[in-house]
Amino acid sequence: MKQFPLFRYLYIFYSFVFLLHTINVFIDSETINYVLGILAIFMLIVSFPLASGLFKILGGAFLFVGGYLFFTTGQSYHVIPSLLTTNLSLLTLLAMLPWMNSIVRSGRFDRNMNLLMKVNVGDLGKLYPRSSLTTHILAAFLNLSAATISQDVLKNTLSPFSKEIRNSFITTASLRGYSLALLWSPLEIMVAVSIFATGVDYVTLLPWLILMAVIAFILDSIFGRFYYRKYKFEHADKNKQPKINKKALVKKMIHFVIALALFLILVILIGNLFDLSFILTVTILIFPFAFIWSLVMKRRRSFWTIGWNNWKTKTNTMQNFIVLFISLSLFSTSLGGTSFLEVIQKPLSYVYDYPMLILFLIQVIFVLFSMFGIHPIATVGILTGIITPLLDVMNPVSIALVMITGSVATFTVGTYGLLVTLTAMGTKQSPYRITIQNMPFAIVMGIIGTLVAYFLL
């Protein structure tokens, strides 16, 4: 079925739905919202056969439980379409993310940034924070691509060392640097999902997210500096060191950082000025920002070429998220209309006096579920019944922080997650080994997240 020619053009259908939803955010028409709900049903029908096994199971479970809960509310079945549109904003954001990835590639920032990992390093201890930081900066715009790019560079740079040392270094430096960028990036879907679930402003979260990222980066850099400093580049051929134009490289780095800072500022200013939600602001800002950036760099043609193909491919393969988010809409909206929340809230009342335990356990659940292949977005759906009543008795900012730290930590230890799997394939090692090696980092992330969140209660 995946090879059926018609499925090559799903991006047209998906894009129409996303565009109509964005327009309706401003119009706020109940009629259009109902039409969107019907279109969402068609999206679910088309996407379900194309989704992976795990997302079929999760989506089916949410549909079954959500359908049962809806039946208990006694509402008319004709209102079901209007319940399926609550997560279309998240799907629209996902569809727009490839354009930001494309502008970074067309500007060749990925190539220039990775030159920093190749020159003037005497031992792996000095290389560790540099490679982690480079991956971190790239990941803010490139997401998953940043990890694979940095890993390819590191494999070449570390070729003089044994496979065990090389794999250990790549497993820790690239995955941890990558996850720390996702902790605060406005382009990370888990940040958007956490904000969506708790109703907290991105501006409120950003300082604390950056603080946690800085603390974790410093601690991890200290670890890397001392742990890997015994491995020297004694046998490396100095003649193979790449010749670079330091002035041009510094200029490129400054350009990249300024662009990132400008994007963050625009997200905050436009959101506050026009009273738009964080997800909507990022969604509508990505394309014009990327396009204007391409004009400034005189890379318009390459931006269109890379961007169109990248966007079309990514949008055509959104089935997993479509199945998950649409089914989750039925589950979460039906759950809110039942007395089931009261059933959940009663046992929680016994541990309200131990907020630190609750905050830490939320993060533990993310990590444990990820080790069984459950995506953190799905975990949010599973935790919906627990999170909702907590928002009434605990600071939503604290809940959002532990959700974000818990979810991004999974990228380093999720045994069946995409990033760990790709790393395992690229380095030819067991994903379980990667999980074990990064588990201390995930635990430290959980502790940092819990302490900061507890401080804000």
Q: What is the pLDDT of residues 320-363, one digit of tens each?
A: 889 988 998 888 788 766 666 666 556 666 667 788 888 888 88
pLDDT of residue 266 exceeding 60, the answer is yes
What burial letters (b/e) apply to 157-173, b meaning 16+ CB within 10 Å? bbeebeeeebbbbbbbb
Flag the least confident range among 14-18, 60-64, 256-260, 269-273.
256-260
Query: Helix 163-182 and helix 418-427: axis angle, to 10°?
Result: 160
Q: Is 80 a domain residue?
A: no
Q: Give the ranges where 199-299 is alpha helix by DSSP (H).
A: 202-228, 246-273, 278-296
Mean pLDDT of 41-60: 89
Alpha carbon distance 101, 138 (integer Å): 10
State the chain's maximal CA–CA distance in angstroms.
76
pLDDT of residue 1 exceeding 50, the answer is no
For residue range 137-169, list pLDDT tens digits in order: 878 776 766 777 778 778 877 888 888 999 999
Placement of tokens 């709900």 in the chain: 37
Query: Which amino acid is it at 412?
Result: T
Degrees to nearest 5, angle at CA 108 with 282 and 293: 40
Q: Is 50 a domain residue?
A: no
Q: What pLDDT is stored for residue 398 in this prediction?
A: 93
Q: What's this model's pTM, rounded to 2 decimal places?
A: 0.80
Mean residue pLDDT of the chain comes to 84
Q: Which residues contact 114 (CB under 8 A, 6 or more apart)?
A: 134, 138, 149, 150, 153
Percent of the chain exceeding pLDDT 90 equals 32
Contact 282, 191 (CB under 8 A): no
Domain of 155 in residue numbering reads as 88-455
Q: What pLDDT is stored for residue 9 in this prediction?
A: 86
For residue range 213-245, list pLDDT tens digits in order: 999 999 999 999 999 988 887 644 555 555 666
Q: What pLDDT is stored for residue 101 in this prediction?
A: 78
Q: Give the ranges where 371-430 is alpha helix by DSSP (H).
A: 376-382, 384-390, 396-413, 418-427
Least Cα distance to 130 among 214, 211, 217 occurs for 217
Q: Is 382 a domain residue?
A: yes
Q: Is 62 a domain residue?
A: no
pLDDT of residue 106 exceeding 70, the answer is yes
Percent of the chain exceeding pLDDT 70 equals 88
pLDDT of residue 2 exceeding 50, the answer is no
Q: Which residues contact 253 (CB under 8 A, 6 or more apart)?
A: 112, 113, 116
264: its two tokens: 């963050």
Mean pLDDT of 399-416: 89
Q: What are phi and psi of 422, to 5 degrees?
A: -65, -40
Q: Is 385 a domain residue?
A: yes
Q: Is 22 a domain residue?
A: no
Beta bridge partners of 232: 123
Alpha carbon distance 99, 86 (integer Å): 24
Question: What domain count does the chain have?
Answer: 1
Q: What pLDDT is stored for residue 449 in this prediction?
A: 93
Confidence class for position 6, pLDDT limits 50, 70, 90: low
Mean pLDDT of 177-206: 89
Q: Is 197 a domain residue?
A: yes
DSSP 317: T
Mean pLDDT of 303-313: 91
Q: Is 4 a domain residue?
A: no
Q: What pLDDT is stored for residue 73 in this prediction?
A: 78
Mean pLDDT of 259-263: 87
Q: What pLDDT is stored for residue 93 in this prediction?
A: 87
Flag the least confident range among 119-133, 173-187, 229-243, 313-327.
229-243
Mean pLDDT of 411-437: 83
